[in-house]
Amino acid sequence: MNKIAKTGREKSELLWGWMFILPTMIGLIILNIYPMFQTIYQSFFKTGDFGKGNIFVGLANYKKVFGDAEVWQSLWNTFKYAIVEVPLSIVIALILAVFLNKKIKARGFFRTVFFLPMVVAPAAIAMVWKWLFNSQFGLLNHILPFKLNWVSDPKIAIFSIALIGIWSVIGYNMVLFLAGLQDVPRDYYEAAQLDGATEIEQFFKITLPLVSPTIFFVVVTRMIAAMQVFDLIYMVIDYNNPALKKTESLVYLFYNYSFQQGNKGYGATVVVVLLIVIMILTVIQLIGQKKWVYYN
């Protein structure tokens, strides 16, 4: 009797389990699993003119990618963006989070203001910054003691875009750090104060190790996101901008090949390369974490 009841329950869980996940699984297979294989498959083809007729070319696209100076340049541009945006946005956000974790007046106000860019479309943010960066009439060249061709000088344009990226994401990182700081026991600081540790010492000896798991999480996820930078570059850099070749990212190239030039085969190859680069970077970080992330 008991056994029958149990198998009845098992059957019921099997049935309803699958019924409940079915919409999501069908969706994921159509929207993600099939497309992923399709993209990899496509990367072995050359798309014919007017998008007609795929010609199998084997590894030719990959050979072309490795010899394509524009792809290498865009990979380098993407790295430059990420290597500036990720660490700086994290350091600034961590400092702000530590400040807001103190007994501070108007905490809510500061938190709201810092987080604000997260709810604004990057397209709008980029338009505003493009205007601020305007070399002739822009606000920045008027209030700063120096003048720059922020987004048209090929040497600095990618860093100007990274600046927008940092400005946009500080608040997001800060909120994650604030959550991490909540878990640091207060009495650690009290004990340190009794031992005469300064606030700076407390930060490096207590705060930093204890929030290192949060920092690690933010570094990994921000890195993945930064490697996919597109919106800001697309919006700020026009087609005739002299800095275009020194700012276009891998995703920008992917968009251009796939949807502007209609060469989906090559676009697919570029995005597969991006996937591989991101995977390598993530694995390196997962290995590297053992050296600095502190789990109690």
Partner 1 sequence: MNKKPKNVAVYIILTLMAIIMLVPFIWMVLTAFKTIAETTQVDPFVVFPSSWQFGNFAEVIKAMDFIRLYFNTILLIALRVVLAVVTANLAGYAFARLEFKGKNLMFGLVLFQMMIPAQIFIIPQYVIISKLHLTNTIFGLVFPGLVSAFGTFLMRQAYMGMPKELEEAARLDGCSIPQTFFYIMAPLTKSSMVALGIFTSVFAYKELMWPMIVCPDSRYTTLASALAKMQGQYSTDYPELMAAALIACIPMIVLYVAFQKQFIEGIATSGSKL
Q: Which of residues 185-204 bind partner 1 (CB under 8 A)?
A: 199
* Residue 217 touches partner 1, criterion: CB under 8 A: yes
User: Distance (Å, rounded) from C-alpha 87 to C-alpha 96?
Assistant: 14
User: Distance (Å, rounded) from C-alpha 235 to C-alpha 252?
Assistant: 11
Considering the complex, state which of residue 155 and residue 186 has its C-beta at the smaller distance from partner 1: 186
User: Distance (Å, rounded) from C-alpha 94 to C-alpha 114?
Assistant: 12
* Residue 110 touches partner 1, criterion: CB under 8 A: yes
Strand, coil or helix: what is 136?
coil
* Residue 120 touches partner 1, criterion: CB under 8 A: yes
Binding-site member from 55, 59, 83, 123 for partner 1 (CB under 8 A): 123
* Residue 102 touches partner 1, criterion: CB under 8 A: yes
* Residue 145 touches partner 1, criterion: CB under 8 A: no
Beta carbons of 222 and 86 less than 8 angstroms apart: yes
* Residue 165 touches partner 1, criterion: CB under 8 A: no
Smallest distance from the beta carbon of 123 to partner 1, in angstroms? Answer: 4
Q: Which of residues 220-259 bind partner 1 (CB under 8 A)?
A: 221, 224, 227-228, 230-231, 234-235, 238, 251, 254-255, 258-259
Radius of gyration of the chain, Cα coordinates, nearest whole angstrom: 25
> Please, where are the H alpha helices in the chain?
2-28, 34-42, 60-67, 69-100, 107-115, 122-133, 139-143, 157-182, 186-194, 199-202, 208-226, 231-236, 250-255, 264-292
User: Distance (Å, rounded) from C-alpha 246 to C-alpha 157?
Assistant: 8
**Binding mask 169-188 vs partner 1 (x if CB under 8 A, - otherwise)?**
-xxx--xx--x---------
* Residue 292 touches partner 1, criterion: CB under 8 A: no
Beta carbons of 60 and 43 less than 8 angstroms apart: no
* Residue 284 touches partner 1, criterion: CB under 8 A: no
Beta carbons of 243 and 157 less than 8 angstroms apart: yes
List the structure tokens of 179: 């959550």
Q: Which of residues 72-101 bind partner 1 (CB under 8 A)?
A: 92, 95-96, 99-100
Binding-site member from 59, 127, 280, 286 for partner 1 (CB under 8 A): 127
Number of residues near partner 1 (by CB under 8 A): 95
Considering the complex, state which of residue 87 and residue 117 has its C-beta at the smaller distance from partner 1: 117
